[in-house]
A and B are shown apart, each in its own frame.
Chain A
Amino acid sequence: MLKIKDLHAGVEDKKILKGIDLEMKPGEIHAIMGPNGSGKSTLASVITGKEDFEVTQGKILFEGEDLDDLSPEERAHRGIFLSFQYPVEIPGVTVTNFMKTAINETRKARGLEEMPANEMLRQIREKAELLEIDRKFLSRSLNEGFSGGEKKRNEIFQMAMLEPKLAILDETDSGLDIDALRVVAAGVNRLRNQENAFLVITHYQRLLDYIVPDFVHVMHDGKIVKSGTKDLALELEEKGYDWIKQEAVL
């Protein structure tokens, strides 16, 4: 599904990603861990096409297609989704209206008719329930004045609505208390199937107790320095990141 080959990317003169290789197949959950500043969020931004970053070497293939020339919305229309670490506040646009626009623009790009209003409403209610989101919440301005937990829950709600093939969850666990974490993780697990894949970026092992990864990769200084199974995450939890850093230097 996703093939990243020798990816180098950065902002202006600053190199951030220094040769990433990663392959993900449908049905898999991959976790990316690593200390702050190792390039985890940059990887998410580059996969989703943020214009601030420039790819200087290597490529990203999604279902065999090179993403390089595609805009963020074109990537979204192909089924790539990013749950933001810091969702942006958009005053004046309600959650419901944003969702309707996102769904219908995606459908339009895929050559489908707009979703009928009653079907849209039904889906919004169903998915909101899945994430234990209050109805009133849906008529509030997108992310404006939301608590950290509400913002993250709202991101996963959007994911549930858009049903992406590849979902990137960037630090979805940060700012969540344990109850919210359970709700979010249960949502993710419900949406998981043999056709989609998840890339879970996290600093801590905690989230991986609930969303169990097939593979764990550790990033340091713009590279994946170690890959393994979920046991690697436990090892990191126990020993911290210092030994990885030392290993990387050696």
Chain B
Amino acid sequence: MDLKDKLLASFMAFENQVDIDNPVHEIRSEAIRIFENKGFPHRRMEAWKYTSLAGLQQVDFSIFPKESQGLEYKDVKRYFLHETDTYKIVFIDGIYSSYLSETTHDGVDICLMSAALNKPMYKPVIELYFNRAASREDSLTNLNTAFTREGAYIYIPKNKAPRKPVEILHLATGNEASLMLQPRNLIVVEENAELQVIERHQSLTTNEVLTNSVTEIFAGQNAIVDYYKVQNDKQSASLIDNTYIDQKKGSQVSVHTFSFGGKLTRNNLNFHQDGQHVNSVLKGVTILGEKQHVDHHTLVHHQQPDSESHQDYKGIFGEQSTGVFNGKIIVDRIAQKTNAFQQNNNLLISDKSSVNTKPQLEIFADDVKCSHGCTVGQLDRDALYYLRTKGIPKREAEALLMYAFANNVLESVRIPALKLRINKLIADKLEVRLGFDL
């Protein structure tokens, strides 16, 4: 049985485990029908030209994880941003771990999707927001929607800001031979509210893990949301991340994606600007080796006038790694005075690595500023010679240049402990021993 058939068959079993009288179940049922019609995306589709899911569909994934064995905090501490205090929402093999988590209902709700779906007090928020930003067409998003059961639920009411960042950590222990996970996160940040989130998927096993994640983020008027994705998974772990952001007037949302590992990673990052004076920031640092593959597909849809978007993605590709950047910007006819900036720079440091980069602009307004640029190259020979004549050996000079290249994306990271951590991850990844902080 291939993966699609297995998933369709599993849906019936899934229905026995959830409350099918819940209005959300109508959305699930509709979603599974769409997935059944569309199936998995394939390489004949333009958006999937460079990323093949064919291999993953051959794997006999377990769809329903068994109750996981307990993990000690000390075993997984390094995957947390333990240098600073945070709220934590932790899942082990898709199942919530209250032992490792630190949630709150103190003025804000930082808790679980399963609780939000089942408790009447959350019903108004679920009705208003659930599946309102996610694509109704994308087959993998529909697949996730169909199996909606667990994930992070964060609700920050008007004028509130939690006093510390939230970490969402998905751990896979591999008690199953191979495991497919489908977390579903809903994040609502109301008018003038603020939130910082760090999200990470981490496999602790050499067994195959496939995660098909959907996150919906709603930023109300003048809300400020900073979202950081840390992707540094094992060579046996693959991730399809679908993130949908809906921004109201005056809101500022930034998403930083740090992709340093994993077998196959596909980031579908979608910003919908539904208001004036909106600011969207999309940044990425990708540093790959081995046969790793990362595909960034971004979409920024400017639907109202006077708004901005700023995209800056840097990639360094070694060994046989491959990368994709596809940045789509749509500016609607009424979205005058839009200022959209997009930049994608790549370094290939091995003969066998490759990257495909493509800007895709659809501009229907006439008074806009849109700039885009992409480069694919090697390290600057003149810069290397310059550094070497001043006594810095070739290897160190190369590392220094790569480090500087990737590191300037970090300037906008607003959690100092995270910035330092990513800084070190970049240095480790490039095998640089630097006697200073840049």
**Which residues of A are in contact with B by a Cβ distance under 8 Å?**
48-51, 71-73, 75-77, 81-82, 84, 87-88, 90-94, 96-98, 100-106, 109, 114, 158, 162
Q: A71-B394, A90-B404, A105-B396 are in contact. List 6 more A-B contacts (CB 8 A).
A: A50-B385, A81-B390, A92-B404, A93-B438, A100-B436, A105-B391
Contact B408 A91 (CB under 8 A): yes
- Complex Cα gap A72–B407 (Å): 26
Is B67 in the interface zone, CB < 8 Å from A? no
Closest B residue, CB atoms, query A96: B436
| CB-CB under 8 A for A102 and B391, given A88-B380, A88-B382 | yes
Question: Per a CB cutoff under 8 Å, which of A73, A92, A103, A114 touches B388?
Answer: A73
Return the chain A residue nearest B395 by Cβ: A73
Which positions 374-396 of chain B face chain A at CB distance < 8 Å? 380, 382-383, 385-394, 396
- B405 to chain A: which residues have CB within 8 Å? 92
Task: Report the Cα distance A42→B133, complex, angstroms.
Answer: 62
Q: Measured between alpha carbons, how far is A158 from B391 in the docked complex, in Å?
A: 11
Closest to A92 in B: B404
Set of chain A residues within 8 Å of B438, measured between Cβ atoms? 92-94, 97
CA distance A92 to B434 in the complex (A): 14
Give which listed residue, A94, A96, A162, contacts B390 with CB less than 8 A.
A162
Select one of B380, B386, B435 contacting A84, CB under 8 A.
Answer: B386
Name the residue of chain A whose CB is nearest to the CB of B393: A73
Q: State A87–B434 Cα separation when bound (angstroms).
A: 23
A210 to chain B, nearest CB (A): 24
Complex interface: chain A residues within 8 A of B387 (CB): 90, 98, 102
Please state if A109 and B391 are interface contacts (CB–CB under 8 Å). yes
Which among A82, A93, A105 is the interface contact of B389 at CB below 8 angstroms?
A82
Residues of B close to A98: CB separation below 8 A? 387, 390
Cβ distance A44 to chain B, nearest Cβ, rounded Å? 10
Contacts of A104 in B (CB 8 A): 435
The distance in angstroms between the C-alpha atoms of A96 and B397, with both chains bound, is 15
Whole-angstrom CA separation of A98 from B386 in the bound complex = 11
The tally of residues in B whose CB lies under 8 Å from a CB in A reads 26
Q: Please, could you name 23 A-B residue pairs with CB atoms under 8 Å apart, sorted by A?
A: A50-B385, A71-B388, A71-B393, A72-B385, A73-B389, A76-B390, A77-B391, A81-B390, A88-B382, A91-B404, A92-B403, A93-B401, A94-B438, A98-B387, A100-B436, A101-B435, A101-B436, A102-B392, A104-B435, A105-B391, A105-B396, A109-B393, A114-B435
| Bound Cα distance A71, B436 (Å) | 25
Bound: A164/B394 CA distance, A: 20
> How far does the Cβ of A159 sit from chain B's closest Cβ, in whole Å?
10
Q: Which of A92, A100, A101, A102 is B408 in contact with, Cβ under 8 Å?
A: A92
Residues 395-438 of chain B: 1 if any A CB is under 8 Å from the residue's CB, otherwise 0? 01100110111011000000000000000000000000011101
The answer to whether A101 and B400 touch across the interface, beta carbons within 8 angstroms, is yes
A49 to B434, CA, bound (A): 25
**Complex: how many Å from CA A92 to CA B401?**
8
Q: How far is the CA of A49 from the CA of B384 in the complex (A)?
A: 12
Give bound CA distance, A92 to B432, whole Å: 15
Query: By CB atoms of chain B within 10 A, which of A51, A82, A88, A106 has the most?
Result: A88
The answer to whether A88 and B408 have CB atoms under 8 Å apart is no
Binding site for A on B (CB under 8 A): 380, 382-383, 385-394, 396-397, 400-401, 403-405, 407-408, 434-436, 438
> Interface residues of A: mostly helix, strand, loop or mixed?
helix
Minimum C-beta distance from A202 to chain B (A) = 19
CB proximity of A236 to chain B, nearest CB, Å: 28
Q: Which residues of B lie under 8 Å from residue A103 when comparing CB positions?
A: 391
- Asked whether A73 lies within 8 Å of B435 as measured between CB atoms, the reply is no
Q: CB-CB < 8 A to A91: which residues of B?
A: 404, 408
> Is there an interface contact between A88 and B383, defined as CB atoms closer than 8 Å?
yes
**Complex CA distance for A84 and B388, rounded to whole angstroms:** 12
Among A90, A100, A109, find the residue whose CB has the most chain B CB atoms closer than 10 A.
A90
What is the distance, in angstroms, from A139's C-beta to the closest C-beta of chain B?
A: 11
Chain A nearest Cβ from B390, distance in angstroms:
5
A91-B408, A92-B408 known; A76+B388 contact, CB < 8 A:
yes
- Looking at the assembled complex, report how far the CB atom of A166 sits from the nearest CB atom of chain B, in whole angstroms: 12
A72 to B436, Cβ gap below 8 A? no
Task: State A82–B394 Cα separation when bound (angstroms).
Answer: 17
What's the nearest-Cβ distance from chain B to residue A135, in Å? Answer: 17
The residue in chain B whose Cβ has the minimal distance to the Cβ of A161 is: B390
| Bound-state Cα–Cα, A211 to B386, Å | 25
**Separation in Å of the A143 CB from the closest CB of chain B?**
9
Contact residues in B for A94 (Cβ distance below 8 Å): 438
* A101-B394 contact, Cβ under 8 Å, with A90-B386, A90-B401, A91-B404: no
State the Cβ distance, B422 to closest chain A Cβ, in Å.
15
Q: Which residues of the other chain, A, contact B388 by a CB distance below 8 angstroms? A: 71-73, 76
Which residues of A lie under 8 Å from residue B380 when comparing CB positions?
A: 88
Q: How far is the CB of B46 from chain A (nearest CB, A)?
A: 34
B residues less than 8 Å from A90 (CB atoms): 383, 386-387, 401, 404
Note all chain A residues with C-beta closer than 8 A to B400.
Answer: 93, 101
CA gap between A76 and B389 in the complex, in Å:
6
Is the Cβ of A105 less than 8 Å from the Cβ of B383?
Answer: no
Closest 6 CB pairs of A and B: A92-B404, A72-B388, A106-B391, A76-B391, A88-B386, A102-B390
Give complex CA distance A102, B383 in Å.
Answer: 14
When chains A and B are docked, how far (Å) is the Cα of A114 from the Cα of B438? 18
Measured CA separation A81–B383 after assembly (Å): 16
Which of chain A's residues have a CB closer than 8 A to the CB of B407? 92
Residues in B neighbouring A102, C-beta threshold 8 A: 387, 390-392
Contact A97 B436 (CB under 8 A): yes
Contacts of A48 in B (CB 8 A): 389
Complex formed: what's the CA distance from A114 to B401 in Å?
Answer: 21
Residues of A within 8 A of B385 (CB): 50-51, 72, 88
Q: Is the CB of A158 within 8 A of B404?
A: no
Rounded to whole Å, the gap between the CB of B128 and the closest CB of chain A is 44
With contacts A92-B405, A93-B400, A100-B435 known, is A73 near B386, CB below 8 A? no
Contacts of B403 in A (CB 8 A): 92
Chain B residue nearest in CB terms to A168: B389
* B390 near A93: Cβ-Cβ < 8 Å: no
Residue contact A73 to B401, C-beta cutoff 8 Å: no
Partner of B404, one of A72, A93, A114, A162: A93
